[in-house]
Structure 1
Amino acid sequence: MRMIRFIAVFILLAFLAPMAGAAAWWSTVDRPSSWRSADWSATGLLPDPVTSEDAAIYVLSARTGGFKGAFSVHSWIVVRERGATHHTRYDKVGWGSPIRRDGYDADAAWYSNKPWIVAKLTGDKAARAMPRIRTAIASYPHSNNGDYRIWPGPNSNSFVAHVLREVPELGAVLPPNAVGRDYLPGGDFFSVDPDGRDVHLSLFGLAGLSAGLRSGFEIHLLGQTAGIDILHPALKIPAFGRVGF
């Protein structure tokens, strides 16, 4: 009985309270009423590809639209081959071709919400990682029409999280409020990153654990994540995201 009370209090404090706070904050934010009225234009976050010949890989996230923006972000991948004069963007979306290539500007706002850079790799390191990025994108098993499920996955964040696990050189995980990040490809229950530095347990993205040098220690519940980043000290707070020390 004491253990049940402890678990209930933990869920209340670690998950439900932050989500309630995020919902209250989001209700005060001025946001577009529909995707038609939203801003989807470039933000100037990424450097002009014409001025640099270096290879580059970026992972970006931005709050998503509607009330779900209180609890989740949308994530995507941007690559630029060495010598290329443009970025190429990859999103997984719930309409049309599931893996969308250049559906939007590389650093465009998402539902009027400005993105930020979650991870980046440039220069020789990016050039060496590029083939693995291409392979990870091409091999994603949920890339067909009808393979998208907004919750608990596979969704846009499930796709990007798959690429990050397959290419550990990027040295990052998605924000704690990237709902769907914990849905393992094929509905697997257990996964170890190729370099062995992170392990993941997942019950179809509904509950699970992650631990390792990149993940720190994470508890997953209903698409949200609570935990601590040890390598780059920070708390991982459901709905709010990563809060560094």
Structure 2
Amino acid sequence: MAVPDVAGRNFWGGRTYVRGQGPTELDNHGSQRHLGWLLRDPDGFVEELSWAAGGRQILLERRTVAVRTVSQVADGCWALDFTTALTNVTGETVTLGSPATGGRPGAGYGGFFWRAPRRPEPPRVFSADGEGEAAVHGRASDWLALAAEDWTLVFAGATGDTRADPWFVRTGDYPGVGSALAWDRRLAIAPADTVTRRIVTAVADGRLDREAAARIGAQLSDKGATV
């Protein structure tokens, strides 16, 4: 869970993109720091984190991670249930952005991100509405699947707000999938307000077809019966 621009501070890591200059090094990096556990169980946890930069806290995050079962779909399949709730604690409006909302069209990363292992051949990527990187990148869909020869990941937005966010997808340079908080405009969080997103990711052995991925995606959403 990382955002490249929170009120002008970089919570992504690495180099910072500057419009008109390209990637460069800026002294604007923030940090996520663990504050405490609200719950720790064998199948998950609830954690509080401080997003701070420049000597002040900007966001308070409550992060919930849990393991879920995925029934009657595929052997060796389980799901990671991830919820993030970001609360603005500054007393003034805070905005979140990405390179796509700062002058470079088509980037759009920032938020939940899963980087998958490389394979000799790029994985197949498809959603409920299209197939191939060009067809799914930058578009919203209830679920999205990334399928290699020996594994498949099925990502599902488990709330309406999450499903409205476009998917960030890469298969050529590296395989990775993210859910973009700020695709074509900055996301504003008013003082004391909270932005919540929930993504459930199924991890399955083997390459699943569209029908199996669709069944999993339906189970993982709050439209289904298992979350």
Q: Which bracket does the TM-score occupy, shorter chain normalised?
A: under 0.3
Q: TM-score, normalised by structure 1?
A: 0.26
* Structure with more of its chain in strand, by fraction: 2
Task: Say which structure, 1 or 2, has more relative contact order (CA 8 Å, 6+ apart).
Answer: 2
Q: TM-score, normalised by structure 2?
A: 0.27
